[in-house]
């Protein structure tokens, strides 16, 4: 059953969301130079995973309902939630 309760956040909650959003932006800035032809999605995932851990955070997708990786990387015909692996970028 789905809960219809709306959670109200105070200053502390918003500060946490701001911190998480800032780290997400930093991860995207960090990974951009590595998104090149020949890079595997597994390698990109590992770089993001290590960066997130080094900054004291936990990757949100990792182990969420069994999701095995730290990022969702979708290529070509995969619409969303692609699981990183040996496939390389072209």
Domain boundaries, the chain: 9-90
Q: How far is CA 74 from CA 2, 34, 49, 57, in A?
A: 28, 16, 17, 23
Q: Write the CB contacts of 73 (distance below 8 Å, at least 6 apart in sequence).
A: 41, 44, 45, 82, 83, 84
| Rg of the chain over all Cα atoms, to the nearest angstrom | 15
Residue 16 has pLDDT above 70, yes or no: yes
- Note the pLDDT of residue 14: 95
Q: Model-level pTM?
A: 0.86
Lowest mean pLDDT among 52-56, 65-69, 72-76: 72-76
pLDDT in tens, 32-62: 999 999 999 999 999 999 999 999 999 999 9
């Amino acid at each position: 059953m789905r809960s219809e309760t709306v959670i109200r956040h105070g200053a502390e909650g918003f500060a946490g969301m701001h911190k998480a959003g800032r780290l997400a932006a930093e991860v995207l800035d960090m990974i951009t130079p590595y998104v090149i032809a020949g890079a595997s999605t597994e390698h990109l995932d590992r770089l993001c995973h290590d960066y997130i851990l080094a900054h004291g955070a936990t990757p949100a997708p990792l182990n969420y309902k069994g999701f095995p990786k730290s990022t969702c990387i979708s290529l070509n015909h995969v619409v969303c939630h692609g699981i990183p692996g040996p496939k390389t970028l072209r």
